[in-house]
Chains A and B, each alone.
Chain A
Amino acid sequence: MWQAFREDVKDQGVEVVTVGIDTAGAEACRHFIEAANPTHPSLIDEHHRVAELFGVVNIPNAVWIDEQGMIVRPAETSPAPPSVGVERTPNQRAMDEPPARVVEMMTHASQITYDAPTYEAAMRDWIANGTDSQFALAPAEVIERSGPRSVDTARGHAHFEMATHLELAGEHQAAIGHFRLAHELVPDNFAYRRQAWSLEPSVEGPLARFWQGPLEGQEADWPYESDWITDVKEMGAANYYTEWKP
């Protein structure tokens, strides 16, 4: 858990900053943040600024920044540190009879792989050793690993911001067109897709934002090219996160 990790390392000159990326804003994040009760800065990012500014493409993703404000590892998969306790967010509570779509999503999700102990060990090594850590990358390597950014992907980020702006202005239908262009132009950003899918009407209750696809029998009304299950099947759950490189 990030809060427990932060308490563990806070006297070593490091701070954790969590950023909730959600166009639905503070009220959508509140429940989770209050449950975690962080003593570190916990921010709300309605427009996914961290995508444009740091190359965040999925969650969880983390960036390491040194004392001089220089990025030493660009955005990469960042499982919560396991040594200080297992994270249990409210959505991971067991359900008595989950709907078939959610059962299928959980089956795929259980096949998503990441190496949390290795990532935590690397983070602790950097916190202890700074620039001497083998995990603090040279500037050219940081830039190289930060992900592709063509003129088209840059335009896709502009469409995403237009979409979130319109969504927050109550123009949901107009936002969809820009979300679609963002998805097409920034194909490696899975958070951009999940964001748009999570804003579509679905089931009532706590599963609403996790549905991320058409309701049964209403497939023709789904406004996007894909949905969570279709995408994860196509990429393969094992490829959901790119493999971590030291």
Chain B
Amino acid sequence: MITKTLSVDRADFEARTGWQLKPEGACKGDICIPLAEQPEGDTLQLESIAEQLNLPLIHDEAHGLWALGPESLSSRALATVEAPNLTLPTLDGDTFELHSLRGKKVVLVAWSPY
């Protein structure tokens, strides 16, 4: 997740990271991590939430940008087997959401033109 400010929109954070902020904590799949500080309202303080979920937050000072990386909870790339709602554009710029295929098996294949 790229941001110019450390105050970020809660819905953006949830969509981009897959972490849902619930009363019981930050949840992804079958994992819930209790938060010491309950976020309130529609804006999150990224430094606090990053620290609590142990998400790397890097800063490019020259360009005034922050990048928030993923979790490393299980020491493996996947923390849970619940597939995230991968949301990407098609060739024509339409938005596709992986969750639209619930009820079907999916073979998700990565390729590249280089």
* Residues of A close to B113: CB separation below 8 A: 20, 22, 24, 28-29, 31-32, 91, 209
Q: Would you call A154 an interface residue if the criterion is a C-beta within 8 Å of the partner chain's C-beta atoms? A: yes
In contact, A44 and B76 (Cβ under 8 angstroms): no
In contact, B102 and A55 (Cβ under 8 angstroms): no
* Residues of B close to A32: CB separation below 8 A: 111, 113
Given A19-B108, A69-B102, verify A158-B114 contact (CB < 8 Å): no
- Nearest-neighbour CB distance to chain A for B66, whole angstroms, equals 9
Tell me, in angstroms, the Cα distance from A165 to B91 when the chains sit together.
Answer: 19
Tell me, in angstroms, the Cα distance from A52 to B18 when the chains sit together.
Answer: 11
Name the residue on A nearest B77 (C-beta). Answer: A55
In contact, B105 and A130 (Cβ under 8 angstroms): yes
In contact, B102 and A143 (Cβ under 8 angstroms): no
In contact, B65 and A162 (Cβ under 8 angstroms): yes
In contact, B63 and A150 (Cβ under 8 angstroms): no
In contact, B76 and A159 (Cβ under 8 angstroms): no
Q: Which chain B residues numbered 1 to 52 have a C-beta less than 8 Å away from chain A? A: 1-2, 18
In contact, B109 and A62 (Cβ under 8 angstroms): yes
Chain A, residues 215-227, CB within 8 Å of chain B (1/0): the string is 0000000000000
* Residues of A close to B82: CB separation below 8 A: 69-71
Given A154-B71, A158-B67, A174-B60, verify A68-B102 contact (CB < 8 Å): yes
Residues on A facing B (Cβ under 8 Å): 2, 13-22, 24, 26, 28-34, 41-45, 49-50, 52-56, 59-72, 74-75, 78, 91, 123, 126-127, 130, 139, 142-144, 146-151, 153-159, 161-162, 165-166, 169, 171, 174, 178, 191, 194-195, 198, 209-210, 212
